[in-house]
Amino acid sequence: MRRAQLDDSFKITRSPVTLREMVCNRLRQAILNFQLLPGDRLVERDLCDRLGVSRTSVREALRHLESEGLVEFADARGPRVAIITLEDACDLYELRCVLEGLIVQLFTLRAGPREIEALEQALEENRKALEGAELPEVIETVQNFYNVLMEGCGNRVAATQLRQLQARVSYLRATSVSQANRRQASNAEMERMVAAIRSGDALAAHQASVDHVRAAAQVALDYLQRQQEHQGEQARELFVPRVQDEPRIER
């Protein structure tokens, strides 16, 4: 049998952004903006109505967000926004210290003038956003900063590992940056990191990166601790009767 020639009809036409990606982006943004809070139920029918898309698109998006760690299918009641516990956050910050510290150190050793210029530009964009932009823009500029570092570090494995944590890291960033007085401190820490990179001091850059993650961790973990304690108090109120609510005994 003679082989038929493959013509242009064999090509797959790709849209720049698929519907699933659009739904993913919208839901991800709602989670990072705290419009959807940890533990909130994600009812497919409601999401279809709000987003104006099919149930298939919503299901695909939820499964993708599950792989990012932002959505969880915890029980028979269906998906919900993932709850990042205090222990989860500690684990993530420990891993961030290792991965980001390594990436910054390698970037210092391997990046050229063009990559350093791109990093300085990303830092400036972050500074401007921190002066008054909404939280989503701030998070985007921070991510752009780290994208430059990951692309210029020369270690694809380390960069891939950090990208796989990107969604949960962004959520924790949003948690810390949204706290009072954290914005200015965050940019100052990043400036210290860039100054060490510019000077070619890989060890100082590594230390600046670790210090930056630890400072962010302190703010975010304190917040999560307060939230956990508050939830514990609410739970106790449901089960422990108040003294004034106890029935009186007539004597």
> Which pLDDT score, from 0 to 100, does residue 3 have?
46
Is there a contact between 65 and 59 (Cβ–Cβ < 8 Å)? no
> Which pLDDT score, from 0 to 100, does residue 26 have?
92
**Where would I find the H helices in 111-181?**
113-130, 135-152, 156-164, 166-177
Q: In percent, how much of the chain has pLDDT > 90?
A: 57
Q: What are the residues whose beta carbons fall under 8 Å from the beta carbon of 55, sequence distance 6 or more? A: 44, 45, 48
Is the pLDDT at 34 greater than 50, yes or no?
A: yes
**Average pLDDT of the segment spanning 2-26:** 64
> Which pLDDT score, from 0 to 100, does residue 93 have?
95
Note the pLDDT tens digit of each residue in 169-180: 888 888 888 886
pTM to 2 decimal places:
0.77
Note the pLDDT tens digit of each residue in 59-111: 999 999 999 889 999 777 889 999 888 999 999 999 999 999 999 999 999 99
**Average pLDDT of the segment spanning 25-33:** 88
> Which pLDDT score, from 0 to 100, does residue 178 have?
81
> Which pLDDT score, from 0 to 100, does residue 162 have?
93
Q: Where on the phi/psi map is residue 17: left (φ > 0), alpha (ψ -120 to 50), or beta?
A: beta
Give the chain's domains with CATH numbers: 16-81 (1.10.10.10), 86-233 (1.20.120.530)
Is the pLDDT at 11 greater than 80, yes or no?
A: no
Is the pLDDT at 244 greater than 80, yes or no?
A: no
Is the pLDDT at 251 greater than 50, yes or no?
A: no
Beta-bridged to residue 75, according to DSSP, are 78
Is there a contact between 81 and 38 (Cβ–Cβ < 8 Å)? yes
Is the pLDDT at 228 greater than 60, yes or no?
A: yes
Note the pLDDT tens digit of each residue in 99-131: 999 999 999 999 999 999 999 999 999 999 988
> Which pLDDT score, from 0 to 100, does residue 181 have?
75
The per-residue pLDDT of the chain, averaged, comes to: 85
pLDDT band at 233 (very low <50, low <70, confident <90, very high): low
**Average pLDDT of the segment spanning 131-147:** 90
